[in-house]
């Protein structure tokens, strides 16, 4: 599972460093520069679903549900 970020919804997207917490099911990364950012997750496992992203003062957090 790889978190990717772009400043434009249509890309191009680039991989970003992210941490996955298997206990909470959350994927988090430090926000990149700019006021607008789009994120997506690339996974090699079918059926992965994402929750709504949340932005804190230090992280962008996305809930991840694995099948």
Write down the pLDDT at residue 35: 62
The model's pLDDT over 5-47, given as tens digits with 9 standing for 90+, comes to: 888 999 999 998 999 998 999 999 887 666 668 888 888 888 8
Q: How many CA atoms lie within 13 A of 50 on its CB side?
A: 16
Is 11 in contact with 49 (CB distance < 8 Å)? no
Query: Residue 32 corresponds to which tokens in the numbers above?
Result: 């990149």
Write down the pLDDT at residue 34: 60
- All residues at 6 or more sequence positions from 3 whose CB lies less than 8 Å from its CB, including other chains: 15, 16, 18, 27, 29, 39, 40, 41, 62
Does the structure show a pLDDT above 80 at 61? Answer: yes
């Amino acid at each position: 599972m790889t978190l990717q970020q772009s400043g434009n919804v249509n890309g191009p997207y680039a991989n970003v460093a992210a941490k996955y917490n298997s206990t909470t099911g959350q994927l988090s990364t430090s926000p990149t520069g700019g006021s607008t950012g789009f994120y997506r997750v690339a996974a090699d496992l079918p059926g992965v679903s994402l929750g709504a992203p949340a932005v804190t003062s230090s992280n962008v957090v996305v809930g991840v549900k694995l099948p």
